[in-house]
Structure 1
Amino acid sequence: MSEQERITVHVKLFATLRRYFPELGIGETMEVRLPKGATVGDLVHHLRIPADHVKVVFVNGIVRDEAHPLADGDEVGIFPPVGGG
């Protein structure tokens, strides 16, 4: 796949999801390369995070579902379910 057929998104993982990438410090982002046309669901799958561990995904500050297409340069925040009382 050529570079013209790929996008780069900037991903930040929150709370317990950081365990999937322990080398990332709190608040750090990582660049992820995906094929053009990739969705939020494709990104989560690429990161090997189980879908049931993801509650909310923000793309450029807006809540998006798993079918939302990603674009080059998107800023993505991924949050787990939160419990408490």
Structure 2
Amino acid sequence: DHILFLVALCVVFIVKEWKRVLWLVTLFTVGHSITLALSAYKILNIDVALIEFLIPVTIFITGVFNIIHLKREEANANNINLIFALIFG
């Protein structure tokens, strides 16, 4: 599911935008590491069933966003994926 989410985030970028993809993967890793640390130190305690439900929901939201902004060649649309990577990570 992590790789599927990263693919959903990266699909909007072209090969020449490899630096943005690198930032995206880095932000996902940072976001994921923060949530893992918060969980490991019992600062954040969320039901596993809820998390397992939210994982495909975030993939779906990202996919829908990509489809909506498919025809728009805006940098802002791609920047939203960077934010998704950090928050949903």
Give yes or no for TM over 0.5: no
Q: Which has the higher strand share?
A: 1
Q: Which has the higher helix share?
A: 2
TM-score, length-scaled by structure 1: 0.24
TM-score, length-scaled by structure 2: 0.23
